[in-house]
């Protein structure tokens, strides 16, 4: 059983900063990739940032230079530091944990945390 719990979502002012966290527990592979997605009303879910077990990071173009993803492997926790927030960053942010092993693909999602940026 894998459990994903996000936290840290809030209402922030334009240009402000916020850090959201995601703690994963259960039988998780040390090879797991962790990622943040977001979904705004009326839009498709999109990948915001991801980090592999080797700490290789990728970012959506719209957050490059403003957001930083990091992870604490010992705690199976991933963080997303968001700076210079814009109203377009308003969305429900979801954490995902996924890996592939001999038994196949594994992917788990949390319930998400809401980030709202005022204009």
Is the pLDDT reported for residue 119 higher than 90?
A: no
- What would the pLDDT profile of 76-113 be if each residue is shown by its tens digit? 999 999 999 999 999 999 999 999 999 999 999 999 99
What is the three-state SS of the chain? CEEEEEECCCEECCCCCEEEEEEEEECCCCCCEEEEEEECCCCCCEEEEEECCCCCEEECHHHCCCEEEEEEHHHCEEEEEECCCCHHHCEEEEEEEEEEECCEEEEEECCCEEEEECC
Residue that has been written with the tokens 């850090």 in this structure? 19
- What would the pLDDT profile of 56-86 be if each residue is shown by its tens digit? 999 999 999 999 999 998 899 999 999 999 9
Residue that has been written with the tokens 């959201």 in this structure? 20
Alpha-carbon torsion 22, 63, 43, 11, what sign?
positive
Strands 113-117 and 33-39: unpaired
């Amino acid at each position: 059983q894998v459990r994903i719990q996000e936290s840290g979502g809030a209402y922030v002012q334009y240009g402000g900063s916020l850090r959201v966290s995601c703690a994963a527990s259960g039988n998780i592979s040390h090879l797991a990739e962790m990622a943040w997605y977001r979904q705004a009303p009326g839009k498709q879910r999109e990948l915001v940032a991801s980090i592999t077990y080797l700490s290789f990071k990728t970012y959506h173009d719209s957050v490059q230079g403003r957001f930083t993803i990091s992870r604490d492997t010992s705690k199976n926790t991933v963080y997303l530091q968001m700076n210079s927030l814009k109203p377009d960053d308003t969305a429900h942010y979801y954490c995902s944990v996924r890996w592939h092993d001999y038994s196949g693909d594994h992917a788990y999602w949390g319930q998400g945390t809401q980030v709202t940026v005022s204009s």
